[in-house]
Amino acid sequence: MFDRLNAYRIMWVLVFFDLPTETKADRKNYTKFRKKIMDDGFQMFQFSMYIRHCSSRENSDVHIKRVKTILPAKGHVGIMCVTDKQFGMMEIFRGTEAVETPGTIQQLELF
């Protein structure tokens, strides 16, 4: 059980994107991509940066593959995985004020 909750085993998947929004079709593709990653459990961290908590590397691989299947034809998308330990060491600021790093999301796992 301890191994399952190890801060080096738990992963965060970060998706960064910069997609064109000049035309109506571009905006539609942007919205479609954003909605699909949100449907897969990603939450907005900043504009065009979404994060998802995963219980393991294997679980993060599943979500990374899903993102890769919905990549838009135009624009730039980056996908990065970090451990829960690394994510927890992030420093976040609003202006000059430090803000607490988001905690680990408690999820019910069904087998």
Domain boundaries defined on the chain: 2-99
Global pTM value? 0.83
DSSP summary character for residue 22: S
pLDDT surpassing 70 at residue 85? yes
pLDDT above 50: residue 111: no
CA distance 38 to 50: 8
DSSP one-letter code for 102: P
> What residues does 14 pair with on adjacent strands?
51, 80
Residue 96 has pLDDT above 70, yes or no: yes
Burial of 26 (0-12, 13-18, 19+ CB in 10 A): middle
Amino acid at 105: I
Q: Which residue has tokens 């790093």?
A: 101
Mean pLDDT of 6-34: 94
Three-state SS at 69: helix
Residue written as token pair 């949100």: 38
CATH architecture, domain 2-99: 2-Layer Sandwich (3.30)
* Longest alpha-carbon distance in the chain: 51
